[in-house]
Amino acid sequence: MTIPSPAAPAAASGATSPDDGRFDAFVELTKPRITRAVLTTGGIGMALAPGRIELVPALLSLLGTVLVVSSANALNMWWERDVDGRMGRTANRPLPSGRLPARDALVFGVALGLIAMPVLLMVNKLTAALGLLALVSYVLVYTPLKAVSPYALHVGAVPGAIPPLMGYATVAGKLDGVALALFSVLFLWQIPHFVAISLVRGSEYADAALPVYGIAKPANVVRRTVAIYTYATVAASLVPYFLGGFHAVYLVVAGALGLGFIALAHRVSTTDLGAAQRFFRASIAYIILVYGALVLSMNAGVA
């Protein structure tokens, strides 16, 4: 094996340069896992919309959605850099760890948002308006409210549920009952999903002095909130069938998934973190399966 001399380039030994580290840090600012999930819900919105999916508008819409979400995530990390530094789970993010200057993250986030708007306008005005609403509500309403109120959870669920509407508007050019049902399911689902997260990670949020719902509210209120919003999510998931255009098998599948989801919700408590963890994981499977069942049963006719 040849040993590189001190003058040899870093690449010759397989090492990464500082520039590589900066690139990775910028990518991390966009929260790629969340961005992929949002991209999926936007694509589902397109698949469920009436009309033909045109390649160029669809690609522009997905690109614009990625830019909006990446901008929102980067600006959220910029805003919460001090809070992130107080939690073990987030202390190694690019800003609290010092891998990126705060100013660079701010410029990056703003630039992504500014690029996103004209991209979405090339799709249509409704899709662009929805993207702008998602970005502004997440960064300028949800993010500062998170530090002072547990009800930031409900505000943050609004931009979190907008991407399916953007996909739907891309194809249909309008919003209708099915689109609003998609929004409602995702909006309502986020409440118990994130309450469960706040229970599991309660000690970290307490260390960061964040008044998240799971630790800021009394135990009975937390249990009731999880149950009520889970029931509401399941009820909303059945609505598309009654609007027409979906096979009756969807009603059976969504109903069965809903019963399981409800059963787990009733086990969530502020003292049994294992039950909260199981509910959190099950909630991810639930929303994937419900949205997937919608796509598979669409336009099959109502039995």
Residues 18-58 have pLDDT tens digits of 566 899 999 999 999 999 999 999 999 999 999 999 999 99
| Mean predicted confidence (pLDDT) in 103-123 | 97
Position of tokens 């040849």?
2
Q: Do domains 22-175 and 177-303 have the same CATH topology?
A: no
What CA dihedral angle connects 275, 278, 279 and 285, to 10 degrees?
A: -170
242-259 burial: b if 16+ Cβ within 10 Å, else e: eeebbbeebbebbeebbe
CB 175 within 8 A of CB 126: yes
Model pTM score: 0.89
Where do the domains of the chain lie? 22-175, 177-303
pLDDT tops 90 at residue 5: no
pLDDT at 19: 63
Q: What is the pLDDT of residues 249-273, one digit of tens each?
A: 999 999 999 999 999 999 998 889 9
Per CATH, the number for 22-175 is 1.10.357.140
Can you give the C-alpha Rg of the chain in angstroms? 21
CA–CA dist 235, 222 (Å, integer): 20
% of the chain at pLDDT higher than 90: 83
Per CATH, the number for 177-303 is 1.20.120
